[in-house]
Amino acid sequence: MTTHPDFGTTLFLGACDVVALVRRKGLPACIAGIAARIEADTRRWNDFDKSARVASHSADGVIELMPIADATQFAFKYVNGHPKNTRAGLPTVMAFGVLADVSTGAPRLVAELTLATAIRTAAMSALAARVLARAGSRTMALIGNGAQSEFQALAFRDLVGIRELRLFDTDPAASAKLVANLAGQGFETVRVCASIAEAVRGADIVTTATADKANATIVTPEMIEPGMHLNAVGGDCPGKTELHPGVLGMAAVFVEYEPQTRIEGDLQQMPADFAVTEFWRVLAGHAPGRRSADQVTIFDSVGFALEDYSALGFLLAAALELGLGQAIDLVARADDPKNLFGLLHAEAPARAMRRRRHALPVG
């Protein structure tokens, strides 16, 4: 049985551990649990030391570090975005994260986050739509049917009440994959459409989750109908957009962390004084969300570090509950913290390893 790591050890959750965790808890429970943590953490927005993520861009993609901290815990995520990766059999997005104690700097958790990132992204999308979309929304257009699409569909099913899906992707195989994976998942209709315009027509909610690193215009003004809510997920780095600027201009736009979204989201196309509302202000009651049934709303989602903080907290609690993961010696620790050189004596590391294994049973 795994217990909480002691001062000198770190709990490690590899890919197999995270998959086992999601299977044992159930994907709906994980989506709901992470969404609840995101909502609770967002409500205490001012408790966090926040900054835009640090990014290294190339012609092929981006590699990013996403840090955040409150008074007790520091978290960061390493994540990439390389749309061409699937051609080489690699995921477009790969991630891992760390949770550490602010009081000591000791790393408490290292976890694979590729799967958890998909879950937390969908959880954040559905949380925002639950607040911003029209009450009673039942139909969603899902544009982009790749690795994120199943998670978005299931999160909107459970947290928003979506029962009808209209799908479009430039790759028919992606849509076929999504249809197969959603079979028997409680949707009344899952229909593949011949165009974006067909998928969007009459939809209560439009989710765009495309991967190409390009200034694309997936949704244009003539597609917009009164009362629509748009969940723009794919425009998440400089030079990568999905919505025509005219769509933004006709809507109330909500963002996670404005300084980051102005650089990376669809918002990058708009003037610096274009008005947006940070979503936490709506949850806190400081700003209105949807003002009328006919208003068009947009959640310009780029992903923010607070969501990863919430996801890491969920993973740590669930791993300890289920006895998953293993304790690792991620950082060196000498018996005398002022004598790091002493670790170079032959017996010191082995003696410390035996002591820690005896003190911390893992399973």
Q: How far apart are CA 266 and CA 242, in angstroms?
A: 7
The answer for residues whose C-beta is within 8 angstroms of residue 350's C-beta and 6 or more apart is none
Q: Which of 158, 204, 236, 300 is catalytic?
A: 236
- Answer for the pair 250, 296: CB distance below 8 angstroms, yes or no: yes
- Answer for the pair 14, 112: CB distance below 8 angstroms, yes or no: yes
Phi then psi for 250, rounded to 5 degrees? Answer: -100, 5
Tell me the three state secondary structure of residue 233. coil
The answer for residues whose C-beta is within 8 angstroms of residue 49's C-beta and 6 or more apart is 68, 69, 70
**Whose CA is closest to 107, among 324, 304, 305, 328?**
328
Cβ neighbours, 10 Å, residue 77: 26
* Catalytic (active site) residue 329: no
Q: How far apart are CA 274 and CA 296, in angstroms?
A: 16
Beta bridge partners of 112: 96
Task: Provide DSSP, 109-165.
Answer: EEEE-HHHHHHHHHHHHHHHHHHHSPTT--EEEEE--STTHHHHHHHHHHHT---EE
Q: Which residues are catalytic?
A: 236
